[in-house]
């Protein structure tokens, strides 16, 4: 009884679930004198083992055995009929399934289920009674008592683990919400969201797709657990992958997640979803998939698609409710961020309208009156020089009035004139996660005064150039310079990566060359003086 009490205290001394499970096995072996011990965790459907903790064998011996048991033979008997079992020789039992090659020899057996309230969590298996041919009734009673205490310890550990996960989800959600409410770009936030879900859910891949104006599910970010770069592998928003087809229609409006099981258990629509995800993650061998809708009170916003490895030990069922709650809260955060941007934009437009009215009603009218007065004075002036000066002043006032009217027109545009430079800076910042560092973006010249078509080309060139650095350069530094001089606008993107390599498959560079030629400019890539790559795109300011 003293030993049993010590064992109960030992299994209750830690709140980390893996440590608790290991202590249960070793304590049971010590109590009844078993040479080998194991604890099998049963899946939620209670038909096979999803985790198997062993003691008494070395890691090398375990590796030689191969795949861990799934619940056949005597192990499966305890799953199907969860009651204590005590056997003199495993091999003589009618349910014996035999041992795989390289498995240690085992004869005597003692097993009992571990219950948490009315739920069977798993089974405790002990074999090879030391100093005797079989386990005794007293051993069985001791092990049953230990399993009861183990159930309490496991329950405490699970509640502690669940509380810690909830805190982690809350902290992650607070980070995303703060980013969106502070006006961070949605593409940057998308990368943070997928990384958080991948880390908290133990996923190998996470895909975030948001509905656009055409109600298409456009992929905004793809997370890959084994890659440093997790950005979407596309050149521009128009080139981003789209989740399309009848199997995706209406998914974003669902109120509960779609659980897609491994291929042999999936329906036709789920098979199609799986095929789309496999294409996005470059054919990676995936098992379970979950599709979580991002919704708000105003409708659908998009979906989060989660994928786990085919042979992952993680059971998504246990964490899926928390991931679903997180997805719902992310949907609200996205909506709040968009609403905040809309309110800021409306406030900005109101201010600009007020400024435009004041300039028109006060400044222009006063300048116009002054011009009329000067014209009248010029007609009665006697000296030619005075007349010339007055006419010159009137002309200058006319120019000033035209410039003010142009400024008023710019104020009434949907986007402020200074947004082009901000767009380039934000664009460079959005590649921070993909590159692993923040690229330097230098704008030299009044880029904001260029015509909208040329500004759009500049943004597209910078995006494609940085995308190629992410894909191919393996760089530790990248600099972007947009400059205007001698009637030309020049873009240079310099990195310190591995160099040009094979460019035959880089269709994005061909697009940049076509843009430059169409505008009467030039485009080239070359090796830098200290290695790496220099991308240069140059077009005339006057493209007429």
Alpha-carbon distance 431 to 436, whole Å?
Answer: 8
Q: What is the pLDDT of residues 447-469, one digit of tens each?
A: 877 877 788 788 888 988 888 88
Alpha-carbon distance 327 to 320, whole Å?
Answer: 10
Residues 315 and 352 in one domain: no
| CB-CB contact of 411 with 422 (8 Å) | no
Among 157-171, 260-274, 516-530, the minimum mean pLDDT is found in: 260-274
- CATH number for the domain that contains residue 461: 3.30.565.10
Residues 240 and 351 in one domain: no
- CATH number for the domain that contains residue 192: 3.30.450.40
Residues 215 and 322 in one domain: yes
- Of all residues in the chain, the percent with pLDDT exceeding 90 is 5
Residues 147 and 181 in one domain: no
Last residue of a domain, one of 389, 411, 433: 411
| Local confidence band at 228 (pLDDT 50, 70, 90 cut-offs) | very low
Residues 494 and 364 in one domain: no
By residue count, the chain amounts to 544
Last residue of a domain, one of 108, 138, 161: 161
Residues 7 and 53 in one domain: yes
| CB-CB contact of 191 with 183 (8 Å) | no
Residues 150 and 181 in one domain: no
Helix, strand, or coil here: 240? coil
Q: Within a 10 A sphere around the Cβ of 434, how many other Cβ atoms? A: 22
Residues 136 and 196 in one domain: no
Helix, strand, or coil here: 438? coil
Residues 459 and 502 in one domain: yes
Q: Residue 517 has what DSSP assignment?
A: H
Rounded to the nearest integer, the mean pLDDT of the chain is 79
Report residue 172 as tokens: 């992650």
Residues 436 and 484 in one domain: yes
Last residue of a domain, one of 282, 309, 335: 335
Report residue 484 as tokens: 């205007």
Q: What is the pLDDT of residues 385-397, one digit of tens each?
A: 887 888 888 777 7
Residue 456, CA distances (Å) to 1, 240, 411, 425 in order: 79, 17, 20, 14
pTM of the full structure:
0.55
Q: How many domains would you assign to the chain?
A: 4
Residues 155 and 167 in one domain: no
Q: What is the pLDDT of residues 66-88, one digit of tens each?
A: 777 776 777 878 888 888 888 88
Residues 220 and 258 in one domain: yes
Alpha-carbon distance 125 to 84, whole Å?
Answer: 10
Domain boundaries, position 49: 2-161
Q: What is the pLDDT of residues 25-62, one digit of tens each?
A: 888 888 888 999 988 888 767 777 777 888 888 888 88
b/e string for 490-514 if b means 16 or more Cβ within 10 A? bbbbbbbbeebeeeeebebbebbee
């Amino acid at each position: 009884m003293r030993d049993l009490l010590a064992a109960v205290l030992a299994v209750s001394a830690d709140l980390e679930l893996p440590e608790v499970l290991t202590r249960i096995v070793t304590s049971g072996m010590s109590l009844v004198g078993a040479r080998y011990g194991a604890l099998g965790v049963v899946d939620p459907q209670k038909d096979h083992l999803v985790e198997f903790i062993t003691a008494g064998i070395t890691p090398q011996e375990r590796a030689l055995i191969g795949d861990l048991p799934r619940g056949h033979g005597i192990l499966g008997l305890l799953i199907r009929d969860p009651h204590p079992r005590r056997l003199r020789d495993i091999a003589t039992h009618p349910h014996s399934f035999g041992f795989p090659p390289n498995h240690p020899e085992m004869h005597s057996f003692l097993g009992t289920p571990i219950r948490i309230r009315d739920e069977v969590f798993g089974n405790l298996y002990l074999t090879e009674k030391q100093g005797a041919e079989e386990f005794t009734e007293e051993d069985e009673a001791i092990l049953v008592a230990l399993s009861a205490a183990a159930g309490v310890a496991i329950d405490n550990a699970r509640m502690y683990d669940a509380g810690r996960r909830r805190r982690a989800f809350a902290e992650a959600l607070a980070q995303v919400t703060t980013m969106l409410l502070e006006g961070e770009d949605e593409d940057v936030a998308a990368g943070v969201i997928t990384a958080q879900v991948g880390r908290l859910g133990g996923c190998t891949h996470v895909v975030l797709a948001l509905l656009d104006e055409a109600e298409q599910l456009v992929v905004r970010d793809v997370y890959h657990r084994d890659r440093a770069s997790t950005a979407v592998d596309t050149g521009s928003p128009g080139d981003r992958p789209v989740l399309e087809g009848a199997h995706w229609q209406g998914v974003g409006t669902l109120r509960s997640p779609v659980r897609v099981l491994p291929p042999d258990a999936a329906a036709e629509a789920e098979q199609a979803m799986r095929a789309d995800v496999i294409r996005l993650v470059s054919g990676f061998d995936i098992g379970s998939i979950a599709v979580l809708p991002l919704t708000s009170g105003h409708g659908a916003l998009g979906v989060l698609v989660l994928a786990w490895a085919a042979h992952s030990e993680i059971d998504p069922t246990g964490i899926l409710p928390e991931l679903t709650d997180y997805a719902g809260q992310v949907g609200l955060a996205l909506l709040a961020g968009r609403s905040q941007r809309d309110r800021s934009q409306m406030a900005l437009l109101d201010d600009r309208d007020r400024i435009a009215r004041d300039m028109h009603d006060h400044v222009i009218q006063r300048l116009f009156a002054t011009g009329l007065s000067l014209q009248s004075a010029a007609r009665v002036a006697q000296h030619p020089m005075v007349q010339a000066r007055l006419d010159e002043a009137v002309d200058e006032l006319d120019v000033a009035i035209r410039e003010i009217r142009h400024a008023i027109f710019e104020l009434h545009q949907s986007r402020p004139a200074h947004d082009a430079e901000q767009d380039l800076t934000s664009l460079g910042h959005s590649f921070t996660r993909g590159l692993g560092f923040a690229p330097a973006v230098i704008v030299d010249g009044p880029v904001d005064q260029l015509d909208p078509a040329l500004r759009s080309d500049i943004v597209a060139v910078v995006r494609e150039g940085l995308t190629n650095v992410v894909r191919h350069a393996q760089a530790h530094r990248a600099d972007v310079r947009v400059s205007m001089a001698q009637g030309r606008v020049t873009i240079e993107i310099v990195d310190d990566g591995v160099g040009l390599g094979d460019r035959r498959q880089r269709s994005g560079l061909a697009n940049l060359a076509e843009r430059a030629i169409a505008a009467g400019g030039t485009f080239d890539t070359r090796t830098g003086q200290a290695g790496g790559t220099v991308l240069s795109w140059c077009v005339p300011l006057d493209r007429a």
